[in-house]
């Protein structure tokens, strides 16, 4: 970390904060291989034990939107130490729990602290780095947090076999205590987080609605009174409807649901929630199947799921790069087809399936999900204006947790139906019948994801860089070449931000393409990109629970920042993906792209080389000049 401009004190603080983040993220997957042991010791079935996962996600769904409220009202030192104390206390309660209800209470306490801690810790870590190093810091933090859940099942399985499932929580208590001791010594307060309001009624409506819906879904299959479960589900949906209605009435809503006005965002958010349901549902189902049906140990169970988790973490990096080059549709179709294939493989799991086969199907499924998450989420968020991005990620994170909670409950409820359908047979046969039906349910959900992606997730010409596809212009119609400015202002690659600012001012331009020595487009910098460096900074971090958009408060004055940023390479603020159009594309296409993206100008690219720019006012003038003087005079009256 020394190369990232951290002082000795800041480095210590970042290490402590990162340790806390890794601990709470690791805790989310650490318990998976212990579920079969907990079922035996607590005398509960699969539909009950899944509450340890679904309730955890449910509480996070309620708490995550409140993180900003907590950060605005408590000092960062108070919030981190208080959150870690609650997390440790929940772990202790779970470790000594005499009955399942107490164990569940401990998990709820853990989840309540995790929802706030993750957002705050990510903010503090990034604020500890100099502004020019935050991009690298973001990558480092995302990488660490992405891999932490991957080792959770393996570590958990080893501890379960060596000591027992209670050891998992004891280890977490010890690690939390160590983090607290160092936090008390090195953690400094950070001011500047804005105060926000929290609507108590919204919290009540969302909490009761989600709990009612979750309990109704999870209990329906095994309840002696299914009508009660149906009523609970109806009540849950009604309460969530009231919650949504109230958000549109509040000046400062708990969630800004107007982001759903964008069709692309709606599709992306719903698809990611479905993927999260599959991912978390399988994290419960896999260890139960491996241990209770195949008869392997908890350690083997964790090791079987390890390759899928590790390759999935690498897959998300590959997916982001492919999205930048080819747009969303190609990587999404590859990912969702792989997902269905993996789920088909799981649907054919048997009572004596060999370990390599189980691993291959699990790897295909986990890798596919990670290939889909980043591109689809980015595609959806890109359809929104900048002022809604932070709110959109909050909504996405909440929906992901809701999807994880309800999806897990739904998937595991099928295990009760499947087991009950086998009247004759051994205990293992009945258990397998339940898990087999759950895997079929996962396959059906994956097919739903396939349909959603195949029908709705499509590239637009503005999604693919560096130029739009060529369009055959019909005779008598006008092309982009007819209206473009063939001598646009450009910024040479490697130029400073000060040079870019002067060039835009002198040309009275709103933006310019960054080009190399051969005139190839390498990026686009606008007035907004430059001005954004003088406002609150936004960073996005990918974590175990999804994406977090963090708005960074700043105490640096304008003059100091101007001096510091003057020599900064313009590439650090330029948009890497150049939205462009081919010179032989039609006039109508140029109008559509500028209108849809609300652009002032659109670079004209010929096989990646900048050949001109078409501006909004040029299009308007071109349209006006199509009229004769008599037509203009007649229309002006």
23 phi and psi, to 5 degrees?
-65, -45
pLDDT at 547: 47
Regions of the chain where pLDDT drops below 50: 1-2, 461-475, 536, 538-550
With a CB cutoff of 8 Å and minimum separation 6, the contacts of 497 are 530, 533, 565, 566, 567, 568, 569, 570, 572, 573
What are the pLDDT digits (tens) for 179-204?
999 999 888 777 656 677 778 898 89
H or E element in which residue 629 lies: helix 629-635
15 phi and psi, to 5 degrees?
-60, -45
How far is residue 390's CA from residue 402's CA, in Å, rounded to a whole number?
Answer: 19
How far is residue 115's CA from residue 151's CA, in Å, rounded to a whole number?
Answer: 21
Do residues 519 and 610 make contact, with C-beta atoms less than 8 angstroms apart?
yes
pLDDT at 252: 81
Nearest to 281 by CA among 35, 548, 543, 44: 35
How far is residue 471's CA from residue 586's CA, in Å, rounded to a whole number?
Answer: 7
pLDDT at 72: 75
pLDDT at 26: 86
Q: How many CB atoms lie within 10 A of CB 271?
A: 25
522 phi and psi, to 5 degrees?
-115, -10
Please provide the distance, in angstroms rounded to a whole number, between the alpha carbons at the two ends of the chain. Answer: 69
What are the pLDDT digits (tens) for 544-585?
444 444 455 555 556 666 666 667 777 777 877 787 888 888
Nearest to 210 by CA among 405, 391, 63: 405
pLDDT at 424: 75
What value does the mean pLDDT of the chain take?
82
pLDDT at 227: 87
pTM above 0.85, yes or no: no
Q: Which spans in 187-262 are helix H?
A: 200-220, 226-249
pLDDT at 245: 93
Nearest to 60 by CA among 34, 93, 27: 27
Query: Where do we find the tokens 């140029």?
Result: 590
380 phi and psi, to 5 degrees?
-70, -45
Half-sphere exposure of 32 (CA within 13 A, CB side): 31
pLDDT at 192: 57
Look up residue 10 and give its two tokens. Answer: 């800041």
The alpha carbon of residue 90 and the mean position of all alpha carbons in its chain are separated, in whole angstroms, by 26
Any long-range contacts for 187-192 (C-beta under 8 Å, 24+ apart)? Answer: 187/13, 187/16, 187/17, 187/76, 187/77, 187/80, 187/81, 188/9, 188/13, 188/77, 189/75, 189/76, 189/77, 190/76, 190/124, 190/127, 191/75, 191/553, 191/555, 192/553, 192/554, 192/555
């Amino acid at each position: 970390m020394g190369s990232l401009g951290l002082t000795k004190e800041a480095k210590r603080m970042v290490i402590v904060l990162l340790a806390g983040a890794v601990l709470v993220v690791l805790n989310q997957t650490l318990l998976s291989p212990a579920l079969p042991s907990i079922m035996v010791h607590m005398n509960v079935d699969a539909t009950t034990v899944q509450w340890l996962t679904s309730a955890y996600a449910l509480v996070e769904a309620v708490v995550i939107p409140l993180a900003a409220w907590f950060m605005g009202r408590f000092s960062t030192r108070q919030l981190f130490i208080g959150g870690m104390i609650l997390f440790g206390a929940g772990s202790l309660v779970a470790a000594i729990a005499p009955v399942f209800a107490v164990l569940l209470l401990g998990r709820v306490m853990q989840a309540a602290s995790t929802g706030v801690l993750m957002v705050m810790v990510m903010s503090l870590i990034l604020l500890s780095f100099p502004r020019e190093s935050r991009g690298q810091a973001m990558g480092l933090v995302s990488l660490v947090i992405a891999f932490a859940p991957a080792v959770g099942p393996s570590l958990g399985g080893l501890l379960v076999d060596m000591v027992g499932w209670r050891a998992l929580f004891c280890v977490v208590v010890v690690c939390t205590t160590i983090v607290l001791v160092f936090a008390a010594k090195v953690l400094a307060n950070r001011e500047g987080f804005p105060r926000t309001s929290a609507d108590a009624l919204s919290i009540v409506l969302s909490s009761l609605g989600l709990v009612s819906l979750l309990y109704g879904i999870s209990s329906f299959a095994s309840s002696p009174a299914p009508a009660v479960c149906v009523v609970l589900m109806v009540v849950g949906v009604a309460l969530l409807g009231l919650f949504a209605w109230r958000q549109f009435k509040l000046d400062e809503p708990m969630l800004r649901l107007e982001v759903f006005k964008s069709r692309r965002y709606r599709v992306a958010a719903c698809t990611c929630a479905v993927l999260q349901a599959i991912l978390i549902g399988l994290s419960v189902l896999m260890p139960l199947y491996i241990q209770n049906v195949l008869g392997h140990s908890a350690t083997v169970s964790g090791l079987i799921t390890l390759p899928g988790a590790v390759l999935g973490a690498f897959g998300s990096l590959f997916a982001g790069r492919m999205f930048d080059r080819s747009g969303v549709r190609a990587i999404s179709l590859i990912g969702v087809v792989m997902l269905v294939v993996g789920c088909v493989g799981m649907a054919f799991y048997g009572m004596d399936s060999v370990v390599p086969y189980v691993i291959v199907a699990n790897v295909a499924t986990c890798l596919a999900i990670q290939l889909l998450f980043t591109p689809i989420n980015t595609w959806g968020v890109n359809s929104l204006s900048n002022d809604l991005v932070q709110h959109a990620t909050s909504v996405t994170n909440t929906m992901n947790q809701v999807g994880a909670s309800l999806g897990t409950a739904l998937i595991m409820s099928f295990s009760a139906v499947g087991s009950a359908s086998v009247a004759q047979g051994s205990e293992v046969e009945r258990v397998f019948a339940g898990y087999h039906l759950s895997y079929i349910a996962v396959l059906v959900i994956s097919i739903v994801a396939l349909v959603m992606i195949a029908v709705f997730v499509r590239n637009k010409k503005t999604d693919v860089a560096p130029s739009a596809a060529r369009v055959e212009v019909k005779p008598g119609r006008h092309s982009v070449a007819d209206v473009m400015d063939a001598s646009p202002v450009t910024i040479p690659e490697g130029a400073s931000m000060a040079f870019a600012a002067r060039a835009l001012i002198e040309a009275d331009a709103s933006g310019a393409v960054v080009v190399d020595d051969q005139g190839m487009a390498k990026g686009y910098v606008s007035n907004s990109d430059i001005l954004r460096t003088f406002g609150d900074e936004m960073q996005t971090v990918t974590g175990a629970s999804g994406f977090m958009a963090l708005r960074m408060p700043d105490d640096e004055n304008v003059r100091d920042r101007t001096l510091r940023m003057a020599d900064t390479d313009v590439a650090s603020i330029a948009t890497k993906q150049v939205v462009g159009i081919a010179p032989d594309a039609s006039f109508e296409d140029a109008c559509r792209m500028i209108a849809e993206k609300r652009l002032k100008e659109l670079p004209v690219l010929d096989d990646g080389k900048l050949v001109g720019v078409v501006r909004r006012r040029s299009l308007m003038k071109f349209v006006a000049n199509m009229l004769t003087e008599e037509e203009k005079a007649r229309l002006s009256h």
